[in-house]
């Protein structure tokens, strides 16, 4: 029994070995067949029609380096040519950097199965054949770094599968095609820079959702630039003639782009808006060389350092908004060179020093907002010269002293906030003489005196029909506020004044002396509505 068992076991092992050997031989045979098939495919005969088209194309161009030595019938022998392994049709033609010159022959259009056409970095000239529209399957078209000119044929609108189009570094000098933004819903990369394209940026280009990379630099584009509606990852518009450049409300970071400063004399840039991004570092001194600039918006970034001292070089500047950064130093005296300035908005920074009396030279200034800084000293008497002021916000600083008569010259005043400073002394009655005033906030100071003395020129606040916000809280006023005079409209306006009593019935309740209560913490929201936007957007636009 043991012998039979041994024999059966040995027979089984022999059978397993033979089966394994046969399996290995089968795999080897299959692998060899696949390899042979690959070799056959590599030697796939080039489609006869495509071959003839390529040869005709070669005959029409100059090839000084003899790179187009196309011989034989197999795709592998045709430099720069990629074919289908199934039918021999040309799928890709990549002749970049071959030093070719001459014009493109229309025979190239017979390569109707092309998916990639790259003729970049040659010396090809002339116009683009309209028959390029026959490239139904084309995904990449790169004609950059040549000398093509003329009109970009609108027949290219039929290339609906295109994902990358590059016509940069050529000699196109017509209008930027109106259809460039809506001919392919798959277009991700568009490069048209370093030409002489004219006109405005087509509206359709701003809405192409698939677009990620856009380069229109170094052209003669003009007009206004509306908001882009897609999430661009790369945008280059330098060296054009745009009136407006608005890149606000993005996630741009790093230093402020100095490319904007190149060719500034010919750019004619009027409005530059880089606000609501994450730019850091200093404001480049070169920004003061944008001679045509009328509006500069750099707010809500991470900028540091001082405001450039040569800011006064921008003599056409009408609006400057540097708010919500971490800028330091003082307010440059050189601002007086911006004699057309209508709005100076520097709030929410780390600015210090005093308000220079020479700023009275800004006699058409309408908006002055330097709130939430560390500015000290008094309001200079000379600021009476700023007779056009409508919005003044000096709140949350270290300003001190009594109010002087300079304010009486601001006859157009509609918004005044001196809150949370160190102003003291009695209020003059002229504080309520501004006919168009809508907001007065003097809270959080150490103003004192009898409130009745303040309210003797108007007899009651009912005569100030435009006044919608009044805040005299947390000072040291005394006396009785008669609610029959219209003060009831301003709930909380007199809170935190320990010697002040607001009547509840109009008969005079008297007051009990008590210590000044602790003022609650400020509830500040980043998304606060801008007072200067509400009151003064008529200054520019």
pLDDT value of position 473: 93
Mean pLDDT of 57-70: 92
pLDDT (mean) for 168-185 = 91
Is residue 323 over pLDDT 90? yes
Task: Assess contact for 416 and 439: CB atoms under 8 A.
Answer: yes
What is the set of domains in the chain, with CATH numbers? 355-540 (3.80.10.10)
Of 232 and 114, more confident: 114
pLDDT over 80 (residue 540): no
| pLDDT reading at 460 higher than 60 | no
Say what the pLDDT of residue 526 is: 41
Mean pLDDT taken over the chain: 84
Q: What integer pLDDT is reported at residue 161 of this predicted model?
A: 95
pLDDT at 34 over 50: no
What's the rounded mean pLDDT across residues 291-300? 94
Q: Is 204 helix (H, G, I), strand (E, B) or coil?
A: helix
- Could you read off the pLDDT of 495-527 as tens digits, one per residue? 999 888 877 654 544 555 566 777 776 654 444
- Is the per-residue pLDDT at 421 higher than 50? yes
Average of pLDDT values for 164-179? 94
213-215 and 234-236 as β-strands: parallel, antiparallel, unpaired? parallel
Does residue 324 have a pLDDT over 80? Answer: yes
Helix ranges, 244-353 (H): 264-267
Task: Find residue 112's DSSP bridge partners.
Answer: none
Q: Kindly write down the DSSP assignment for every residue of 486-527, as one continuous string.
A: TGGGSTTTTTT-TEEEE-SSSS-------PPPPPPPP---TT
From the CB of residue 541, how many other CB atoms can be counted at a distance below 10 Å? 6
More confident residue, 169 or 513: 169
Decide: 252 and 271 in contact? Cβ < 8 Å.
Answer: no
Query: Which range has the worst mean pLDDT, 206-220, 239-253, 260-274, 386-400?
Result: 260-274
Quick: pLDDT tens for 338-384: 999 999 999 999 999 999 999 999 999 999 999 999 999 999 999 99
What mean pLDDT do residues 22-30 have? 50
- Indicate the Cα dihedral angle 387, 388, 391, 396, nearest 10°: -40
**φ, ψ at 426 (rounded to 5°):** -75, 155
Mean pLDDT of 65-85: 90
* Pairwise CA distance, residues 61 & 107, whole Å: 12
Under a CB-based contact definition with an 8 Å cutoff, are residues 493 and 502 in contact? no
**392: β partners:** 368, 416
Calpha distance 526→368 (Å, rounded): 20
Q: What is the pLDDT of residue 432?
A: 79
Q: Which is it for strands 319-321 and 367-369: parallel, antiparallel or unpaired?
A: unpaired
Residues near 57 by beta carbon (within 8 Å), at least 6 away in sequence: 104, 105, 107, 108
Q: Residue 467: which of 436, 491, 428 has the closest Cα?
A: 436
- The yes-or-no verdict on residue 63 having pLDDT over 70 is yes
Residue 26 CA to residue 31 CA, distance in Å, equals 9
Quick one: pLDDT band at residue 529, thresholds 50, 70, 90?
A: very low
State the average pLDDT over residues 161-185.
92
pTM over 0.85: no
**Which letter does DSSP use for residue 382 in this model?**
G
Q: Which residue has the higher pLDDT, 533 or 330?
A: 330
Q: What percent of the chain has pLDDT over 70?
A: 82
pLDDT at position 522 is 65
Lowest mean pLDDT among 294-303, 323-332, 333-342, 432-441: 432-441
Q: Which helix (H) or strand (E) holds 20?
A: helix 2-42
pLDDT for residue 512: 53
């Amino acid at each position: 029994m043991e012998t039979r068992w041994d024999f059966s076991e040995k027979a089984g092992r022999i059978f397993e070995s033979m089966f394994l050997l046969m399996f290995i031989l089968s795999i080897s045979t299959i692998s060899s067949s696949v390899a042979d098939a690959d070799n056959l495919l590599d030697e796939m005969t080039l489609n006869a029609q495509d071959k003839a088209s390529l040869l005709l194309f070669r005959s029409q161009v100059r090839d000084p380096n003899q790179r187009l030595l196309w011989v034989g019938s197999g795709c592998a022998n045709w430099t720069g040519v990629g074919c289908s392994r199934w039918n021999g049709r040309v799928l890709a033609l990549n002749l970049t950097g071959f030093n070719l010159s001459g014009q493109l022959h229309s025979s190239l259009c017979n390569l109707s199965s092309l998916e990639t056409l790259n003729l970049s970095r040659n010396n090809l000239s002339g116009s683009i054949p309209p028959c390029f529209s026959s490239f139904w399957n084309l995904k990449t078209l790169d004609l950059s770094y040549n000398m093509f000119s003329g009109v970009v044929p609108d027949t290219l609108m039929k290339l609906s599968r295109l994902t990358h189009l590059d016509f940069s570094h050529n000699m196109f000098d017509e209008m930027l095609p109106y259809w460039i933004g809506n001919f392919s819903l798959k277009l991700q990369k568009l490069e048209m820079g370093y030409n002489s394209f004219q006109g405005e940026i087509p509206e359709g280009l701003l809405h192409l959702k698939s677009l990620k990379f856009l380069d229109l630099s170094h052209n003669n584009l003009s007009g206004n630039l509306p908001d882009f509606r897609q999430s661009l990852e790369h945008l280059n518009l330098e060296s054009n003639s745009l009136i407006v450049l608005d890149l606000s409300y993005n996630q741009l970071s790093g230093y402020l782009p100095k490319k904007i400063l190149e060719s500034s004399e010919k750019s004619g840039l009027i409005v530059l808006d880089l606000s609501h991004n994450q730019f850091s570092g200093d404001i480049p001194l070169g920004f003061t060389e944008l001679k045509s600039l009328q509006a500069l918006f750099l707010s809500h970034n991470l900028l540091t350092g001082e405001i450039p001292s040569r800011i006064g070089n921008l003599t056409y500047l009408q609006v400057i908004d540097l708010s919500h950064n971490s800028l330091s130093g003082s307010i440059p005296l050189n601002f007086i060179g911006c004699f057309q300035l209508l709005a100076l908005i520097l709030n929410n920074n780390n600015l210090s020093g005093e308000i220079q009396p020479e700023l009275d030279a800004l006699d058409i200034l309408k908006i002055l907002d330097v709130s939430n800084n560390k500015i000290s000293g008094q309001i200079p008497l000379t600021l009476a010269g700023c007779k056009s002021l409508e919005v003044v916000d000096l709140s949350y600083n270290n300003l001190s002293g009594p109010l002087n008569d300079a304010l009486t010259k601001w006859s157009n005043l509609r918004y005044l906030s001196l809150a949370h400073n160190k102003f003291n002394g009695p209020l003059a009655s002229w504080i309520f003489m501004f006919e168009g005033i809508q907001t007065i906030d003097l809270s959080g100071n150490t103003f004192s005196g009898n409130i009745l003395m303040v309210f003797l020129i108007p007899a009651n606040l009912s005569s100030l029909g435009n006044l919608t916000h009044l805040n005299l809280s947390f000072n040291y006023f005394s006396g009785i506020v008669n609610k029959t005079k219209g003060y009831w409209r301003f709930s909380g306006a007199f809170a935190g004044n320990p010697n002040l009593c607001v009547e509840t019935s109009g008969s005079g309740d008297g007051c009990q002396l008590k210590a000044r209560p602790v003022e609650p913490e400020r509830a500040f929201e980043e998304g606060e509505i801008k007072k200067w936007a509400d009151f003064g957007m008529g200054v520019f636009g």
